[in-house]
Amino acid sequence: MKNLLLQNALTILAIIALLGPTESSANQEIVGNVEGKAVKSIFSKKGTFVIYIEKEPESLDPLVSTTKYSDSVIQFMCDSLLRKNIDSYEWTPALASKYEISKDKKSFTFSLRPTLTFHDGKPVTTADVKFSIDKLMERTRKFAIPQLEDFFATFQKSEVVDPQTIIFYFSNANFKNFEILATFPIVSKAYYQNRKVAAFKEEAGRCAGPYRPIGHGKDHKLYLEYYSNWYGSGDPLFKDQFNFANIIFKTWNSESEFKRHLKKGEIDFFKIDSPDIFFPNIGDIKKYPKMEKIQVESKLNRSFDFISWNLRNPIFQDRETRIALAHLMNRVEINTKFRKGFSKLAIGPISPRSDFAPEGINPIPYDRNLAIQYLRKAGWSETGKEGLLQKKMGNDRLDFRFTLFFADPDREPYFLAFQKELKSVGIEMNLKLLDWNHFLENIGSENFEAVYLAWSAGYGDPDPYLLWHSKSSSNGGRNFISYKNPSVDDLIERAREEFDRPKRIKIMQKLYQKIIEDAPYLFMFTELNQYYLVNTHIKRNADTANYDIGLQNWKVQ
């Protein structure tokens, strides 16, 4: 069982020896064998960095990639118009040397650097920028991506002024419009427009980032090489960044191999996504003297899990009822017993360390007596023949009974503990485990009373529209519980139109506080901490930056 748990945590890990920096008379180093041919690097003195990821990327094509495993590779290969400073979170130049936002915040002008080239040596122009955004729109229409549908619904046109200047026009003002344009990877129109197959490996990713793909071997290694003509090579803005000659991504599936190579120190970096499973199975880190275990916190919003109440159901329409339910979940005990204490109690739909989190908000504590008081205030004051709380609804009496749908069997122990607490005060919660497709069908048809889910943090600054605006309770929005609060709607709309981040933070703090007070979800856990293993020969200027770990600033000693 322990072996299986570790495999679930690692999924597919690869273990290979670190390819140390050695120089020949030609300043070249053979970094691997790809399909029978030696792959060489001409920047060997900068060192090779080996990153282990859980699963092999399904594609290196930014136009079609959908997983974090692909994105972990693409981020080193494909640059966007702008970047975010990982300490200040301010916009900084990337492919675009400058940008301009119109006074009405409905049009955005980007000016490219004058001497940009893709990895194949061809110049980057605004025709490539337009092509990339057009392809993003095609993908959004084809797959109905909710996060982007609203963006493209207000998109009017793009205007290529000259090879270095392009303008995008929208019908409304929304900070996300600018963010999506600024951060989407720009690809080569000449390379992609006639290709019919997108899921390549070594040939894929005709981008203009600091690293280019040079091979994909049968050994499940992906090889990246520093691109000497990358625009950032001589830019002071990128001084002391992207210091590796080569980056190798490797995946594997053997627990014994992982432990053996971990002990030898043949891992440079491994991000731990499931510490509650990983650490109990891997054992004391002291067994691996060449590796360090690092725990960090950042200001980025983190994912959270929750039980959501169908607010169309009369049982859950009173705020006092929902707060009472939250008081009846002993999250401290669940975290200690089942999550090994690695999680934090969620305060709401925002990480407590996020810039957008309201100040002075604490998680709702387990308090059975307080829960009973709230239940009485909500009208649940009588007990029926079955020992269940009842509430008068017109001429009828409603028993406090509902069913919780969930699709993750590993979470069932949480709900059994919660079920026991609810029963002690006269509430019956039935549990129903569904396969993922049936689970989604029930949510889509609004055929549920309560469901367990988790939302990922997403990229960039949060936009609560899809989850919490009343208009998102229909037309494919994610407000499937039908949460409606006019004050929250107004704050969401104001926040979307505010491009000044400090001002938007203040608006968002108010709207998140209102959502937390309404308790539309039973907010359960969030992961404030990030954990990773790093080799002791890797020189880090810091364990983490404010908004990212910051691998691009590390070096091989």
Q: What pLDDT, in 10s, does the model give residues 156-168? A: 999 999 999 999 9
pLDDT for position 33? 44
Q: How far is CA 437 from CA 309, 434, 440, 443, in A?
A: 20, 8, 5, 10
Over range 175-180, report the average pLDDT. 94
pLDDT for position 286? 87
Over range 239-243, report the average pLDDT. 92
Output the 3-class SS for 35-83.
Answer: CCEEEEECCHHHCEEEEECCCCCCCCCCCCCCCHHHHHHHHHHCCCCEE
Q: What is the CATH number of domain 304-527?
A: 3.10.105.10
529 compared with 487, residue with greater pLDDT: 487
pTM for this predicted structure: 0.85
**Confidence band for 130, pLDDT divided at 50, 70 and 90:** very high
What residue spans in the chain does CATH classification 3.40.190.10 cover?
Answer: 2-58+209-297+530-556
Q: How far is CA 385 from CA 426, 430, 473, in A?
A: 11, 18, 37
Q: What pLDDT, in 10s, does the model give residues 304-361? A: 999 999 999 999 999 999 999 999 999 999 999 999 899 999 999 999 999 999 999 9
**What is the number of other CB atoms lying within 10 angstroms of the CB of residue 138?**
12
Interhelix angle 2-10/255-264, rounded to 10 degrees, is 70
For residue 264 the two structure tokens come to 């030898």
Main-chain phi, psi angles of 43, to 5 degrees: -120, 35
- Max Cα separation, the chain? 92
pLDDT for position 32? 47
305, amino acid identity: D
What residue spans in the chain does CATH classification 3.90.76.10 cover?
Answer: 82-186
What residue spans in the chain does CATH classification 3.10.105.10 cover?
Answer: 304-527
Asked: is 2-58+209-297+530-556 a CATH 3.40.190.10 domain? The reply is yes
Over range 166-186, report the average pLDDT. 95
42, amino acid identity: I
Instruction: Mention every residue, 6+ apart, whose C-beta is less than 8 A from residue 241.
Output: 210, 232, 552, 553
DSSP count for the chain of H helices, then E strands: 16, 26
Second CATH level (architecture) for the domain 82-186: Alpha-Beta Complex (3.90)
473 compared with 324, residue with greater pLDDT: 324
Q: What pLDDT, in 10s, does the model give residues 6-43? A: 333 333 222 222 222 222 223 444 444 444 455 554 44
pLDDT for position 476? 63
pLDDT for position 138? 84
Q: Please state the separation of Cα 198 from the chain's center in Å.
A: 23
3-state SS of the chain: helix, strand, coil percent to 5?
Answer: 35, 25, 45
pLDDT for position 42? 41
139 compared with 531, residue with greater pLDDT: 531
Share of the chain above pLDDT 70, in %: 88
